Amino acid sequence: MPQEPCFNRLWSEILLKNVTPRRADTRVRKTCKEYYRITPGFVFRGIPVLIEKPMLVGIDEEKGRILLPFKKPCYGTSLYAIDSDNAEIQALREGLSVAEPEDPGKK
């Protein structure tokens, strides 16, 4: 019997654990030259990404990985590094628009 898609099978490293969405977005901005805004329910590799509000997903092309937030019940929001290839990175670029820099006056 085929197994259900599960987020635990995607990631290769936890970068931040049980953090605020703002802290996860800040790490994406600092780590990645390229990042995009995703909305709750965004589907990555067949798995809906659980987040409460729009957040950033980053592309770290040098290391061949995608930085993706995900919220697990009882564990909070974490930021994960997911090994990726050039085709997947290019598909992500084409499917999302570049996130605008955050307005420093907006909280």
Q: What is the pLDDT of residues 27-48, one digit of tens each?
A: 999 999 999 999 998 999 888 9
Domain span including residue 56: 9-95
What number is the average pLDDT over the span 41-69? 93
* Within a domain: 27: yes
CA distance 55 to 37: 5
* Within a domain: 53: yes
The residue ranking higher by pLDDT, 26 or 7, is: 26
* Within a domain: 46: yes
* Within a domain: 105: no
* Within a domain: 74: yes
Total tally of structural domains belonging to the chain: 1
The residue ranking higher by pLDDT, 58 or 45, is: 58
Question: How many Cβ atoms from other residues are within 10 Å of residue 35's Cβ?
Answer: 20
* Within a domain: 30: yes
Q: What is the dihedral of CA 97, 98, 104, 105, to 10 degrees?
A: -20
* Within a domain: 3: no
What is the pTM (predicted TM-score) of this model? 0.83
Cα distances from 49 to residues 57, 62, 79, in angstroms, run 11, 24, 12
